[in-house]
Structure 1
Amino acid sequence: MIKFPGWAQRNNEGPPDLDQVMRDLSRKINNMFGKGGGSQPTSSNGGNINLPILPIIAVILLIWLATGFYMVDSGSKGVVQRFGKMTDDTTEPGPRWHLPYPIEKVTVVNMEQVRRLEVGYRTTGEGGGGKTKQPREALMLTEDENIIDLQFAVQYNLNNAKYYLFNNRATDDAVMSAAESAIREVVGKNKLDDLLQKGLADTSQRMQTILDSYKTGVHIISVSLQSAQPPEQVQEAFEDVNRANQDNQRQVNEGQAYANDVIPKSRGKASRLLAEAAGYKLKIESEARGNASRFEQILAQYNNAPDVTRQRLYLDAQEQILSSVSKVVVDQKAGSMLYLPLDKLMNSNAAAAPQQSQSLQSLNTPAAPVADPTVDRSRDAFRSRDRESR
């Protein structure tokens, strides 16, 4: 506290003269800057003149004001605090200014920086070549009461600078807690085999929901599963079970493939047999109706002319019977049997007729008939037997 001389003596006379107070203050400030003890220039009314104090104060004020300039980089935001209290102002990238400390303070937050958090393991060594397991974080219980060892990495950035600064004491701890909570919830609702095959689906969305409920200002980019396997103590037994399941699935697939091959063929064969049976049925029914209709017609003719109808039926039956057997001609007068192969003669003549017509067309000249050796032999046999009978 600065005490001015003469105040004690003038307590009862009112405040001291203002000029006297300013002169005393100027003298004390000059003494502080090393200018005391010498003769000071005086004004015409006898007062001291303090010329350097005002420029110094101005320079100090300018320097203090200049400390309020700051730069916000691209992808970052500045959060302004006034007397330690958060304001509504959030500065965008570029050169900015605020009231210098201790009135205002600015915290610049990188919003686009991708941060990485490892759960269940920690990267060690240069270049991240080694890993150290964290069993407390990695071991989780599944729905079917099995234990699974999960290792995953979470990548995130920020979406609200104010929430990030003032709602979190430790952001990594908040993200770690949300990640463990979300993944333990997902693991607890799925079986071990499903987790090993499908992975951690919808985990990032669940983590984002938890973090948004606490207003952490964190945005989850991705959750990448590094490892998912049973604990090392039961790894061998689990692999045996897994191989057995794979063999079982392979046999099921083979059986299904065989069924897919055989069943369509069997169905096709059954359909073909049904179609053939239906066709045979129609054929038999048609033949039966035709025979019945023919019999009715024959009956009507038989009633009109029995002898003629009976003879015609006999001849028709003989024609049907003899059409498919070899013919033998017997001369009743000679009393000997003459073998005359009429069926062969007819077949040979029918086969020779097209050949003769083709020869006539190609040569365009009449061709001499060629004697059939079978006919010649038949004629010779007939003549010899005729001479013997004579």
Structure 2
Amino acid sequence: MSWNEPGGGNNKPRDPWGGGDQGPPDLDEVLKKFQERMGGLFGGRSGGSGSTGGGVSAAMLGVIVIVGLLVWGAMGFYQVDEQERAVVLRFGKYHETVRPGLQWNPPLIDTVIKVNTTKVRAASFREIMLTQDENIVEVSLSVQYVIDDPTLFVLEVRDPENSLQHAAQSALRHVVGGSSMDRVLTEGRAQIAVDVQQRLQEYINMYQTGILISKVNVDESKPPSQVQAAFDDVIKAREDEERVKNEAQAYANGIVPEARGAAQRQIEEASAYKEQVIANAEGEADRFNKLLAEYRKAPDVTRERLYLEAVQGVFSNTSKVMVDVEGGNNMMYLPLDKLAGGAAAARGSAGGLSVDSSNIRELTDAVTEQIRRDAAASNSRRGGR
């Protein structure tokens, strides 16, 4: 039955508050009844206090409730930095991933986990393992990584960083186990780091850790300390080999161009000599042809001229002349070197008279002519007797 239906006295509407003919109930009375009911629920007294005390307690309770609500609401505000992402769990179940900015989530209901997605983290470890050629090496590895997916990083794996370390060790052992000792210790370290990074990222993606590998470095690779001395000797021998190769290459780089230059010079000299010989032969042939033409015109004169030129050529290379005078019994010897020396001394005393091959030739002709005259006079005297 509705409260405004008739049923009361004098056909008046029924009061749902049980007040009969009185008006609306007082607020203090309502709060008092609420307090008594709450006290009954929590074992307190249902009455016994005055109306004034009940009113004060109800007001304080209202203030406490309002303040509690304000504090509860204020606890839900939080700030997500630019380099962070926040994973929100509602009653322990994934709800959302929050981006940077001022955010609010109901406290005690939602759990907010902030994850820095730009910070570069590092993990390093050292392992002793066996290579493909059954040698033991000690490798120190460092891994740099960032959190690419905060949801996977927080929820999918219990300890993702520990999983990362185990996966890195596994990848390193796989790569080093398929390489030789020389490759691990010398020039193959960079390629080993690249192979380890690729394999490690595959493992991490398979585990769904939300981690992105940014760099893998092989910090150090060396043999065990027990064989370090022998290995140092091997390295020294290898360095000596490289040094000798470099020296040989430097010597080859210096000697080969020099030999090529000398060969080119000899080729040029041979070509020049060839051209010279050909030119001289052609010149001699041309001169012979011209002499032949002159000889055909005047054989005696040409023959005499050729003879004199030949004798002149012979005498020009010696300092002594033997003269056979026709009609005489003695052969005259002319020391041209001494004559030239005496002529040079006379030139020095006479004030610079020059003596050359033409002067010597004139002197020789004069002496020869004088000898012929003396021989002719001697013959004439013998005939007169």
Length-normalised TM-score, structure 2: 0.67
User: Which of these residues, 154, 161, 174, is aligned with residue 150 of structure 2?
Assistant: 161
User: Which of these residues, 112, 135, 154, is aligned with residue 146 of structure 1?
Assistant: 135
CA contact (8 A) 2:75 2:107 kept: yes
CA contact (8 A) 2:88 2:95 kept: yes
Whichever of the two has the greater Rg, that structure is: 2
> Helix, strand or coil: the match of 1:169?
coil
In structure 1, what is the Cα distance between the partners aligned to 2:270 and 2:282? 18
CA contact (8 A) 2:88 2:113 kept: yes
Find out whether 1:269 has 2:262 as its counterpart. yes
Find out whether 1:246 has 2:239 as its counterpart. yes
How far off is 1:18 after superposition? 8.3
Query: 1:88-119: CA deviations, max 9, x gaps?
Result: 441315x43212222x2211223344433222
In structure 1, what is the Cα distance between the partners aligned to 2:350 and 2:37? 166
In structure 2, what is the Cα distance between the partners aligned to 1:331 and 1:235? 99
> In the alignment, residue 313 of structure 2 is paired with which amino acid?
Q
Find out whether 1:36 has 2:25 as its counterpart. no
CA contact (8 A) 1:68 1:99 kept: yes
User: Which of these residues, 196, 200, 204, is aligned with residue 185 of structure 2?
Assistant: 196
Q: Which residue of 2 aligns with 1:125?
A: none
Q: Which residue of 2 aligns with 1:84?
A: 92
Q: Would you tell me which structure has more helix in proportion to its own residues?
A: 2
How far off is 1:317 after superposition? 1.0
In structure 1, what is the Cα distance between the partners aligned to 2:180 and 2:237? 18
User: Which of these residues, 86, 107, 110, is aligned with residue 116 of structure 2?
Assistant: 110
In structure 1, what is the Cα distance between the partners aligned to 2:203 and 2:341? 101
How far off is 1:139 after superposition? 1.4
How far off is 1:192 after superposition? 2.4
CA contact (8 A) 2:129 2:177 kept: no
In structure 2, what is the Cα distance between the partners aligned to 1:264 and 1:101? 86
How far off is 1:298 after superposition? 2.5
In structure 1, what is the Cα distance between the partners aligned to 2:119 and 2:232? 41
How far off is 1:50 after superposition? 5.8
In structure 1, what is the Cα distance between the partners aligned to 2:330 and 2:111? 147
In structure 1, what is the Cα distance between the partners aligned to 2:160 and 2:306? 114
CA contact (8 A) 2:89 2:96 kept: no
How far off is 1:322 after superposition? 1.2
In structure 2, what is the Cα distance between the partners aligned to 1:311 and 1:297? 16
CA contact (8 A) 2:97 2:151 kept: no
How far off is 1:165 after superposition? 0.8
Q: Which residue of 2 aligns with 1:361?
A: none
CA contact (8 A) 1:140 1:150 kept: no
Query: 1:136-156: CA deviations, max 9, x gaps?
Result: x431424x4433210122233
CA 56–369 in structure 1, closer or farther in 2 if over 3 Å, else same: closer
> In the alignment, residue 117 of structure 1 is paired with which amino acid?
A
CA contact (8 A) 2:197 2:216 kept: no
Identify which range, 148-157 or 110-119, moves more after superposition: 110-119
CA 57–335 in structure 1, closer or farther in 2 if over 3 Å, else same: same
Identity of aligned residues (%): 38
User: Which of these residues, 102, 108, 118, is aligned with residue 101 of structure 1?
Assistant: 108
CA 349–172 in structure 1, closer or farther in 2 if over 3 Å, else same: farther
In structure 2, what is the Cα distance between the partners aligned to 1:347 and 1:167? 120
CA 348–258 in structure 1, closer or farther in 2 if over 3 Å, else same: farther
Query: 1:261-310: CA deviations, max 9, x gaps?
Result: 33333333222222222222222222222222222332333333322222
> In the alignment, residue 270 of structure 1 is paired with which amino acid?
A
| Structure 1 vs Structure 2 CA RMSD | 4.4
> Helix, strand or coil: the match of 2:190?
coil
CA 108–194 in structure 1, closer or farther in 2 if over 3 Å, else same: same
In structure 1, what is the Cα distance between the partners aligned to 2:130 and 2:324? 113
CA 71–252 in structure 1, closer or farther in 2 if over 3 Å, else same: same
In the TM superposition, 1:114-133 aligns within 5 A as 114-120=120-126
In the TM superposition, 1:170-209 aligns within 5 A as 170-188=159-177, 190-198=179-187, 199-201=189-191, 202-203=193-194, 205-206=197-198, 207-208=200-201
CA 307–161 in structure 1, closer or farther in 2 if over 3 Å, else same: same
User: Which of these residues, 287, 291, 296, is aligned with residue 303 of structure 1?
Assistant: 296
> In the alignment, residue 246 of structure 1 is paired with which amino acid?
E
In structure 1, what is the Cα distance between the partners aligned to 2:322 and 2:58? 171
Count of matched residue pairs: 328
> Helix, strand or coil: the match of 1:138?
strand
How far off is 1:223 after superposition? 3.4
CA contact (8 A) 1:119 1:138 kept: no
User: Which of these residues, 280, 291, 298, is aligned with residue 287 of structure 1?
Assistant: 280
In structure 2, what is the Cα distance between the partners aligned to 1:170 and 1:97? 28
Length-normalised TM-score, structure 1: 0.66
CA 148–255 in structure 1, closer or farther in 2 if over 3 Å, else same: same
CA 329–57 in structure 1, closer or farther in 2 if over 3 Å, else same: closer
In structure 2, what is the Cα distance between the partners aligned to 1:196 and 1:78? 44
User: Which of these residues, 59, 64, 67, is aligned with residue 75 of structure 2?
Assistant: 67
**Structure 1 unpaired stretches of 5+:** 1-16, 43-48, 121-136, 357-366
In structure 2, what is the Cα distance between the partners aligned to 1:52 and 1:33? 20
CA 209–326 in structure 1, closer or farther in 2 if over 3 Å, else same: same
In structure 2, what is the Cα distance between the partners aligned to 1:73 and 1:35? 53
In structure 2, what is the Cα distance between the partners aligned to 1:352 and 1:139? 105
In structure 2, what is the Cα distance between the partners aligned to 1:328 and 1:267? 52
How far off is 1:351 after superposition? 11
In structure 1, what is the Cα distance between the partners aligned to 2:180 and 2:276? 64
Find out whether 1:322 has 2:315 as its counterpart. yes
In structure 2, what is the Cα distance between the partners aligned to 1:350 and 1:263? 55
> In the alignment, residue 166 of structure 1 is paired with which amino acid?
L
